[in-house]
Amino acid sequence: MTTLASGGLTSGVSAPQGGLKRIGSARWRKRNLTFDKITFFLVFLIIPVAFYIAFVVSPFVQAVYFSLTDWTGFTPAMNFIGLSNYGKLFTDDTFLQAMSNNILMAIVVPIVTLGLAMFFATLVTVGGSTRGNIKGLRNSSFYRVISFFPYVIPAIVIGLIWSQIYDPSAGLLNGILTRLGLEQFTSFAWLGDPRTARWCVMFVIIWGLVGFYMVLFIAAIKGVPADVFEAARIDGAGRLRTAISITIPLIRENVQTAFIYIGILALDAFVYMAALEPGGGPNNTTLVMAQQLFTTAFTKGQFGYACAMGVVLAVITLAYAGLVFAVNRIFGGKSEVGE
C-alpha cells in the first residue's frame, strides 16, 4: 500500500513535465499508467462517462431506434420499418399543428418573459433615483420577493389556479369584467375560444416565470461594477439608454442562457397544458408536441410513432439552441466574452 502510494506521488509530479505530449506511445504508457492514475481515470472519467452513456445517451439512441419501428409499446416484438414514421409525421395535420403551436410559443414566450424580466430587473437594480448612488426603486427588495412568488408554486398548481380564474361561469376574470359592466364577457370561455385560448395559456406561462428570470437578471446586474453605470450617467445616458447600451451587453451571457432555458420550456409546456388544456384546446390551438406524443404512445399504443415525434422535438430544441447561439454571435457576443 505504501509503495503504491509513493509511486503514485512521484509519477503524479512527473506527468505534467513531458509525458503527456506523446500520449498513447509505449513509453508514456509504461511510465505513467500507475495504479493511482488508473483509479483516477476510473473514478473521474470512466464511471461518469459510463453513467452518462447508460442514462443519457442510450435512452436517446434507443428512442431513435424505436422511431424506425412499428413498436406498439406493449409487446417485446417490433418490426423495422425505416423512415415511414417520419413520412407519416410530416403529413399528420394534428402533429404539424402542434409543431407550429410550439414554435409560436418558443418565439413569443421567451421574448415577452425576458423583456418583462429585464424591465423589472433594471427598475429594481439601477432604475431608482438619478441622484446619489446607483440604486433601484424604493422598496425594491419587497417587489423582488413578491415577483418571485409565482415561481415557488409548482407549474401544475399554477395551471390549476388559472384554469379556475378563466372559468367562464364562476371564474375571477369574468367576474371582474362583468362587474365592470362588460356584459359581453358573461360566460366567455377564455380557454374555449380559438381566438383567445393560446394567448391565455401563454400569459399563464409568462406570469409564472417572469419572477425567476427577473431574479436571475438582478444577480447578473449586481455583478456589474456600479462605476460603469455611474460613468454612463455622467455621460448623460438615461435609464433606457443605460439598459440597452450598458446592461444588456454586459450580461449578454446570462440573457443567452435564459433564452435557451425558457425556449426549451416553451417547446415542452406539457405541465401547463395538462392543467389548462388537457384536450389540446379549441380547434387544437393549444396542442403541443409533448401532449400529442403522450396520447400517441399511451392512448393509441403507437410507441414507435411517438418516438419519432420525440426525435423531431429534440431536433427542434437543438436547432432552437443553435439559433440562439448564432444570433448572439451575429450581434458580437463572441468578441466580448471569452470561452
| Residue ranges binding another protein (CB under 8 A) | 20-21, 23-24, 45, 49-50, 53-54, 57-58, 61-62, 65-66, 70-78, 94, 163, 166-170, 186-194, 197, 278-284, 295, 298-302, 305
**CB closer to another protein, 117 vs 204:** 204
Task: With beta carbons less than 8 A apart as the criterion, state whether 309 and 293 touch.
Answer: yes
- For residue 64, the minimal CB distance to another protein (Å) is 8
**CB closer to another protein, 58 vs 129:** 58
Q: How far apart are CA 212 and CA 189, in angstroms?
A: 30
- For residue 279, the minimal CB distance to another protein (Å) is 5
For residue 307, give the nearest of 76, 91, 108, 83 by alpha carbon: 83
CA 301 to chain CA centroid, nearest Å: 29
Strand-pairing partners, residue 80, are 69
**CB closer to another protein, 91 vs 141:** 91
- Angle at CA 67, nearest 5°, toward 64 and 70? 145
- For residue 98, the minimal CB distance to another protein (Å) is 12
- For residue 193, the minimal CB distance to another protein (Å) is 7
DSSP per residue over 190-230, as a string?
Answer: TTTSTTTHHHHHHHHHHHHHHHHHHHHHHHHHHTS-HHHHH
Q: Say which amino acid occupies 190.
A: W
Reading the block at residue 105, the C-alpha cell is 410559443
- For residue 31, the minimal CB distance to another protein (Å) is 16
Task: With beta carbons less than 8 A apart as the criterion, state whether 188 and 168 touch.
Answer: yes
Q: How far apart are CA 190 and CA 266, in angstroms?
A: 20
- For residue 73, the minimal CB distance to another protein (Å) is 6
Q: How far apart are CA 149 and CA 159, in angstroms?
A: 15
**CB closer to another protein, 122 vs 296:** 296
**CB closer to another protein, 78 vs 137:** 78
- For residue 159, the minimal CB distance to another protein (Å) is 12
**CB closer to another protein, 249 vs 301:** 301
**CB closer to another protein, 30 vs 138:** 30
CA 59, 65, 70, 76 dihedral sign is negative
CA 191, 192, 194, 195 dihedral sign is negative
